[in-house]
Structure 1
């Protein structure tokens, strides 16, 4: 007589829905999940002291190995301005017909450097700090924002040299100087937004950091850093679309606003039409759009 052995039925693994319900009942959440936009903003605000401290530490350490130290924060843009003055002002003659060309040029170089450095730093914000991203939990937007804040601090430090140059050319201090404050705020919002866009692209494709210097150099040449856009657009040979693109170029808009604020010989007629509306529009579109675009990929940074 054969004996039938009863074997226990195989246990069935709980379904995914059951596991999700169990986790929710005990307050468990997905590791690294993207928070809501409102919660993300709250987390960023809670870490505002970390963002400012990180930016200041990066700025202090930038030239810590150089003998001249923080003096290079002013020397670098001044040397760039000197090179551009020799090439464009002396050799190519773009200074002709531009009053106070040296303050005009130095202002353009300083303001452009702020945008250029913010975007380059943002491109490497995630890919260049993977150790920090993978080791600690914090809103990743803290990195591109802190790098943009670092460049703003450097610009403010360099503005002391710009003020000395402006005053040495006999240009007076006028109430228009106060317009530099809203212009810098709008430019900072624009730079931060573009930096966050580039940070997301750079996190996925680090090779973009190698391409950006060529893109930024081309952008600089069409932004009126070394020459007057208003002087060029008065000529009839330019197609209307080219004139519109030159005048609404965001980098050129912020450069012109800063020149109008600080240089008495730079008149309002040299500003493109609706310049403050354009500056505000670029700041809102890039700032808000770049922030949301970066937030949507929050859970992917530092993985893979």
Structure 2
């Protein structure tokens, strides 16, 4: 029997008994169902990564709070004092720290997502599971770290003189929408990072530029006159989620109502778009 005939016979047998290649991309609905079935694995994998992340450092998990705090301190000296970006902003300390903590969540989610596939090739090649589990787990890792950071942020904001009001509850839906956005972005960049590993070298420059354009260090409405450029910068998703969290924590901060509409639109578009974009290349992840 020739090789071609043997291959055809095997294909016929596979089709007859409903067998499919283990790496084949399942239909979208089936893929979502398989991910849900593995939700406990995803959370457990993320938790183990969180615990082990700073295991080699003396201060351990404290670094997840110290890093954004040290960044905020540097930005305060350089931009707040030397460049006087605090001019016209009430309670600049709370304004700055909130912006740094919220932006760091997105920044770290994107960076971790870029390495989600390329950094777990041995796991991908050894086991069969929905590959989206990995960027999802990486986002959960960053969310777990954010929750610890937010506790510290709330204390800092209170120490700066902001009152504790019912508006603080707005932070919960704002961060939930940001998590949706970050998840979609992590899924999309995970596919890019799997194809082009060098993208991880470019990301620090991209995210640093994004930080400067997102109103983390200054107030966009105070620095720009009304016009298309100002509207575009205010519609930037990073700026949208930062503004919503500031609006919840700071009594002196006011955010237009349409910011919530933008937050929902960015979250839904990023999550759905990123998920479908990632799923479309499911069978190619882990191949040499």
The TM tier, using the shorter chain, reads over 0.9
Cα separation, 1, equivalents of 2:3 and 2:218: 75
- Is structure 2 residue 121 aligned with structure 1 residue 120? no
Which whole-Å CA distance do the structure 2 matches of 1:169 and 1:115 have between them? 25
Provide the rounded CA distance (Å) in 1 between the counterparts of 2:271 and 2:59.
35
1:224-258 per-position Cα deviation (integer Å, ceiling 9, x unaligned): 0110012123x26xxx3312210110000000000
Paired position in structure 2 for 1:242: 229
In structure 1, what is the equivalent of residue 272 of structure 2? 288
In structure 2, relative to structure 1, the CA distance for the partners of 1:142 and 1:12 (3 Å cut) is closer
Q: 1:174 aligns with which of 156, 165, 168?
A: 165
Gaps of 5+ in 1: 1-9
RMSD, aligned CA: 1.6
- Asked if 1:263 is matched to 2:250, the reply is yes
Shift of 1:88: 0.6
Q: Segments of 4+ in structure 1 off by > 6 A?
A: none
| Pair 13,207 (structure 1): closer, same or farther in 2 beyond 3 Å | closer
Show CA shifts across 1:32-71 (max 9, x none).
1001111111111111111111111111111111111111
- Taking the TM superposition and a 5 Å limit, the aligned residue runs for 1:218-257 are 218-233=209-224, 235=225, 240-257=227-244
Conserved in 1, the CA contact under 8 Å of 2:221 and 2:230? no
Q: How does 1:121-160 map to 2 (within 5 A)?
A: 121-160=112-151
Q: Secondary structure at the match of 2:5?
A: coil
Paired with 1:123 and 1:56, the residues of 2 have a C-alpha distance of 19
Distance in 2, Cα, partners of 1:30 & 1:50: 23
Partner of 1:276: 260
2:28 to 34, 37, 40: 37
TM-score (norm 1): 0.91
2:113/2:190 contact within 8 Å kept: yes
CA change 1:17–1:157 in 2 (3 A) is same
Following superposition, the deviation at residue 111 of structure 1 comes to: 0.3
**3-state SS in 1 of match to 2:223:** helix
Cα distance between partner residues in 2 of 1:211 and 1:157: 28
Tell me, in whole angstroms, the C-alpha distance in 1 between the residues paired with 2:273 and 2:138.
18
User: What's the offset of the Cα at 1:74?
Assistant: 1.1
TM-score by length of 2: 0.96
Q: Does 1:100 pair with 2:87? A: no
Matches of 2:111 and 2:3 in 1, distance apart? Answer: 53
Q: Name the structure 2 match of 1:14.
A: 5
Once the two structures are TM-superposed, the CA of residue 20 in structure 1 deviates from its matched residue by: 3.2
Checking the alignment, whether the CA contact within 8 Å between 2:96 and 2:217 is kept in structure 1 is yes
Superposed, 1:200-219 pairs within 5 Å as 200-219=191-210
Mark the structure with the bigger radius of gyration: 1
